């Protein structure tokens, strides 16, 4: 597992963080600093280092450099970036946590596959237990006249049979 490094300010001690985690952290840090926002970043010390945890205060006026072991950029998880960004906006600052989402390689469909059809699809029945739109869960209410209703910020729409 490639390990990247953060060099912060004039510190002689580099901060080593796994490349994939560092790539996600870099996106959130760059966004916050671009907005001239200061915040903290905390992490547990990795195996092989003194037991414990550390916190640094990040400020736009302090020099910061990210160095990655792997020359190829990593595939980013929007969910992980959102989780880190949410913690950055809290009073506790960013707490670097392990990724909770599977972002491994995705199977790519071959456009020449004769079984692949792109376009409209007829659906006989569709059951929605949970609907997320742009990262926000949309509540699905109890059935009205036998059909479920999806409540959005607009007028409720009754599902057609």
91-145 pLDDT tens trace: 888 888 666 544 445 445 455 555 544 445 455 555 556 656 556 666 655 554 5
- In the chain, pLDDT over 70 holds for what percent of residues? 60
Helix ranges (H only) for 18-77 are 19-34
Task: Please tell me which of 22-31, 43-52, 93-102, 131-140 the model is most confident about, judged by mean pLDDT.
Answer: 22-31
d(CA 115, CA 109): 10
Averaged pLDDT for residues 27-54 = 88
Which of 25-34, 112-121, 146-155 has maximum average pLDDT?
25-34
CA–CA–CA angle 90, 13, 33 (5° rounding): 35
Query: d(Cα 113, Cα 19) in Å, to the nearest integer?
Result: 36
User: What is the predicted pLDDT for the residue at 46?
Assistant: 73
Residues 75-98, mean pLDDT to the nearest whole number: 86
Domain chopping of the chain, boundaries: 3-95, 126-161
CA 142 to chain centre: 31
Q: Which two tokens stand for residue 157?
A: 């729409």
């Amino acid at each position: 597992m490639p390990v990247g490094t953060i060099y912060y300010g004039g510190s002689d001690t580099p901060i080593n963080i796994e490349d994939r985690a560092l790539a996600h952290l870099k996106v959130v840090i760059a966004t916050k600093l671009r907005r001239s926002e200061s915040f903290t970043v905390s992490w547990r010390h990795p195996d092989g280092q003194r037991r414990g945890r550390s916190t640094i205060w990040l400020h736009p006026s302090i020099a910061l450099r990210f160095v990655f072991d792997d020359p190829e950029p990593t595939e980013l998880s929007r969910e992980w970036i959102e989780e880190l960004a949410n913690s950055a906006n809290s009073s506790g600052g960013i707490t670097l946590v392990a990724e909770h989402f599977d972002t491994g390689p995705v199977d790519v469909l071959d456009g020449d596959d004769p079984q692949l059809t792109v376009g409209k699809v007829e659906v006989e029945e569709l059951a929605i237990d949970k609907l997320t739109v742009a990262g926000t869960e949309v509540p699905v209410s109890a059935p009205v006249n036998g059909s479920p209703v999806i409540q959005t910020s607009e007028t409720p729409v009754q599902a057609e049979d």
